[in-house]
Structure 1
Amino acid sequence: MKRRHFIKSAAAFSSITLLPSHVWSTVKKSTLRTAHIGVGGMGLADLGDISSHEMVKVVALCDVDSNNLAAASSLHPKAKTFSDYRVLFDKMAKKIDAVIISTPDHTHAPASLMAMEMNKPVYCQKPLTHHVLEARAVRKMAADKNLTTQMGIQIHSFKEYRSAVHLIQNGIIGKVHTVRAWSPKNWGYDGPIPTGSDPVPANLDWNLWLGTAPQREYKDGYYHPGNWRKVLDFGCGTLGDMGVHIFDTPYTALSLDVPATITTQCREPNGFGYPENNVVTYEFPGTEFTTDTLKWVWYDGPGAPTDHEELRLPNMESLPEQGSMFIGEKGRLLLPHWDFPKLIVDGKYEPVDYPDLEPANHYHQFVDACLGNDTCSAPFSYAARLTEAILLGVVANRFPNKTLHWNNGTQLFDESEANQYLTSSYRKF
């Protein structure tokens, strides 16, 4: 699909008359009326965190699973309920001020683009999009319409991770030449491709769950509610799930953009699921916080990471289950997932003077920004670049042991065979 056709197809979701962008870029009200698309699992958590803000009024709930919708509705019985987000937008366009999107990955961009086409601020769960060129489209629309946006990477606002950004940017280990990051989670699938079909549960609208994704028969246990991350058509594997969280702090701290090259070590593609184990090596252009180039190595799947001298800890300690390691000119900084960074110099831990940072609530930050009282720390202008970098690695696992060269200007790989995976056609549903 050509880029101009992608944008047209995204915009075509909406038949609603649009208001000028300046009217909705910041909601000048004392109450924020929110619509929530996807209210099961993480969506239910997002609903709770957004609605905990005293200025929020939940007015619309949408989910393709009636069980999820019933559970959310019991918490907000006055909110209107929908199974199709397009119907929600058609019926509630003038009654909502902001949209929260917590669906499977393949629906992030279609729903976000439709909401922003209506000039609505958007909070969208990570990864921001399912495809690279969707990230570019979402970023452009948010900028063109000057909308308040936030990606759902809650730990971006945690003190632990903000402390790491402060320390790196203040030169605690000098210029960084390598980052190694890992997660042993297994959002891959190396088993046989499922065949046949199973009856669709009465509580699930399978056509709406598929949305813009290719038509596929329902198979119990493979997609809804929990395993879609493993499947090429719907999720982005472990890299697209935990990678967003674990990449985020080093990406911010080092002021990175998108990589120049990507190489993946993994099994051969099977056309259905992501590999269960990946080692993805990126090379990024240098920044003021790095050497001339930055090497970034990502490990995922059972047993990750593989042993490496740059990952060995003092006193023969074990690595945290998930995390990242900055390797610089003057030492290393270990950043465990969900913990404060640790400084390692000459094989020993050294004390760290952590900055005194104000607490931040990622969800409330979005609400306050919509009301004109704050700014978002992970707007789509940032989130789309982070997502693009990660999704380039997701594409690369279809070409094991082959280095792909990304052209930031043309938005294409030099290796033309990889460009087909930068986007996909949208199914009519």
Structure 2
Amino acid sequence: MNKRTFIKKSGLGALGLSLLPSGLKALEAKGPQARLRTAHIGVGNMGNEDLRDISSHPQVDVVALCDVDSNNLAAALKLHPGAKTFKDYRVMLAEMSDGIDAIIVSTPDHTHAPAALAAMELDKPVYCQKPLTHFVSESREMRRVANEKGLVTQMGIQVHSFYDYKLATLLIRDGIIGKVHTVRAWSPKQWGLNGPAPEGSDPVPETLDWNLWLGTSPEVPYKDGYYHPGYWRRLVNYGCGTLGDMGVHIFDTPYNALELDVPRTIMTECRPPSGFGYPENNTVTYEFPGTDYTADSLKWVWYDGPGMPPAHEDLALPGGEQLHDQGAMFLGEKGRLYLPHFMLEPKLIVDGAYQEMDFEKYGLGTPIRNYASEGPKHYHQFVDACLGKGETTAPFDYGARLTETILLGTIAGRFPGQTLHWDAEKAQFAEAEANQYLSGEYREF
């Protein structure tokens, strides 16, 4: 089933609901004391953090909670006892659409687009966790819908609003290392699985609605220790591996600072595909068209998995200093800029030595490196934008392009060592066999 058909049949069109007009103008009309009524789809793990930080805004009222796991739902309800609870986001949207102003989507990756698109079809602003979608076709569709409807949107990359990442963006755009020709980024996380798919099945916990957890993905038997609650990131039908988890965060600052679009070529070095789990170690090499801040083209190399990154002269630090576990290195015509992940000061390296930098001229104020105070900023930016105060800095127009870049790397992992050529205008590969992974059929559930 395609995505448009899914939205029509997913409980909204089937219930005869007409598309409701956006409530944003009404909220703006109420003035500065307006309140934003939020509904949260997925309230376990990261969803719980999203719920906490969205609701910490003084003008938010949490009116609906939705989760396929009753334990998650019960814990969230204790924090917001006045909210209505649901297992199925389609039912929530059908029953409460006129009582909801904005939707927060914090589910596993494979449900991001189905839930977010259903909300946007009702003209609701959406905050959606990263990566924005599971398929490239979904990213393109979410970007299209958000832009056509003029909706407030935000992808959940909180560090986008943190001091050090904003500072690094300003440094690069100020030409501190000149035109950038290469970026190397890395994470040693292991959101992969080199073993086979599990055999057999286990009883589904009474607290879990397995059909709703699977959602639009293919039906498979439940197996304890896989899938829910946290294993899904490793699996190709539900997550996007380490590249989709940490890559989005670590890619974000270089991608934003250099004003990149999607790449022209992608090549992934990894083990042969299993069709079930992502490889545990990946090296992904992208080539991007040039921008005002890069050379004529930009080379980008991503490393993930145990032991990453390998030793490389581009990553050597002064005095033999050890690299941080995660981070990015910009290489330009005048030196290198090292950005550890996360909440650490960017460092300028010229001729093998650290150089002093004047940060005050960039007007960011005193550095703040406290997650408790910095974390909510990205969420509050979304709430304020919904209330007509300012704009978001990671809308779907941006998040979809960044996510597309990430997803092209995971697709290249199905063709190890082969360079894939991406036509951004046609949204397809020159290598026809790779195009089957740009989208997927939606199961009726």
Query: Which residue does 2:431 correspond to in 1?
Result: 415
Query: Which residue does 2:411 correspond to in 1?
Result: 395
- Alignment gaps of 5+ in structure 1: none
Aligned counterpart for 2:45 among listed residues 41, 44, 51:
41
Q: CA deviation at 1:11?
A: 4.6
Query: Which residue does 2:389 correspond to in 1?
Result: 373
Q: How does 1:23-38 map to 2 (within 5 A)?
A: 24=24, 27-28=27-28, 29=30, 30-38=34-42
Identity of aligned residues (%): 66
Which amino acid is 1:423 matched to? S
> What is the number of residues matched between the two proteins?
425
CA contact (8 A) 1:18 1:119 kept: yes
Q: 1:275 to 1:105 in 2, by over 3 A?
A: same
Which amino acid is 1:240 matched to? G
Q: Distance in 2 between matches of 1:11 and 1:180?
A: 43
Query: Which residue does 2:364 correspond to in 1?
Result: 357
Query: Which residue does 1:236 correspond to in 2?
Result: 240
Q: CA deviation at 1:193?
A: 1.8
Q: Distance in 2 between matches of 1:48 and 1:412?
A: 39
Q: CA deviation at 1:6?
A: 3.4
Q: Distance in 1 between matches of 2:404 and 2:233?
A: 17
Q: Distance in 2 between matches of 1:11 and 1:117?
A: 10
Q: Distance in 2 between matches of 1:26 and 1:377?
A: 23
Q: Distance in 2 between matches of 1:134 and 1:98?
A: 20
Aligned to 1:283, what secondary structure does the other structure show? strand
Aligned to 2:99, what secondary structure does the other structure show? coil
Structure 1 residues 121-168: Cα deviation after superposition (integer angstroms, max 9, x where no partner): 000000000001100000000011100000000000001000000000
After the TM superposition, which segments of 4 or more aligned residues of structure 1 sit over 2 Å from their partners? 5-14, 23-29
- Alignment gaps of 5+ in structure 2: 369-373
Q: CA deviation at 1:352?
A: 1.6
Structure 1 residues 355-409: Cα deviation after superposition (integer angstroms, max 9, x where no partner): 3326871000000000001110000010000000111001110000000000001
Aligned counterpart for 1:107 among listed residues 107, 111, 117:
111
Q: Distance in 2 between matches of 1:225 and 1:129?
A: 19
Which amino acid is 1:19 matched to? L
Which amino acid is 2:18 matched to? T
Which amino acid is 1:357 matched to? L
Q: Distance in 2 between matches of 1:347 and 1:292?
A: 25
CA contact (8 A) 2:339 2:346 kept: yes
Asked if residue 19 in structure 1 is aligned to residue 51 in structure 2, the reply is no
Query: Which residue does 1:249 correspond to in 2?
Result: 253
Structure 1 residues 3-36: Cα deviation after superposition (integer angstroms, max 9, x where no partner): xx43343454332211345x54784240000000
TM-score between both structures, scaled by the size of structure 2: 0.94
Aligned to 2:267, what secondary structure does the other structure show? strand
Asked if residue 346 in structure 1 is aligned to residue 346 in structure 2, the reply is no
Asked if residue 131 in structure 1 is aligned to residue 135 in structure 2, the reply is yes
Q: Distance in 2 between matches of 1:352 and 1:323?
A: 19
Asked if residue 7 in structure 1 is aligned to residue 4 in structure 2, the reply is yes
Structure 1 residues 79-131: Cα deviation after superposition (integer angstroms, max 9, x where no partner): 00001000100111110000000000000000000000000000000000000
Q: Distance in 2 between matches of 1:99 and 1:426?
A: 22
Q: Distance in 2 between matches of 1:373 and 1:253?
A: 24
CA contact (8 A) 2:24 2:388 kept: no
Q: 1:369 to 1:26 in 2, by over 3 A?
A: farther
TM-score between both structures, scaled by the size of structure 1: 0.97
Query: Which residue does 1:157 correspond to in 2?
Result: 161
Q: How does 1:197-276 map to 2 (within 5 A)?
A: 197-276=201-280
CA contact (8 A) 1:26 1:370 kept: no
Which amino acid is 1:166 matched to? L
Q: Distance in 1 between matches of 2:7 and 2:183?
A: 36
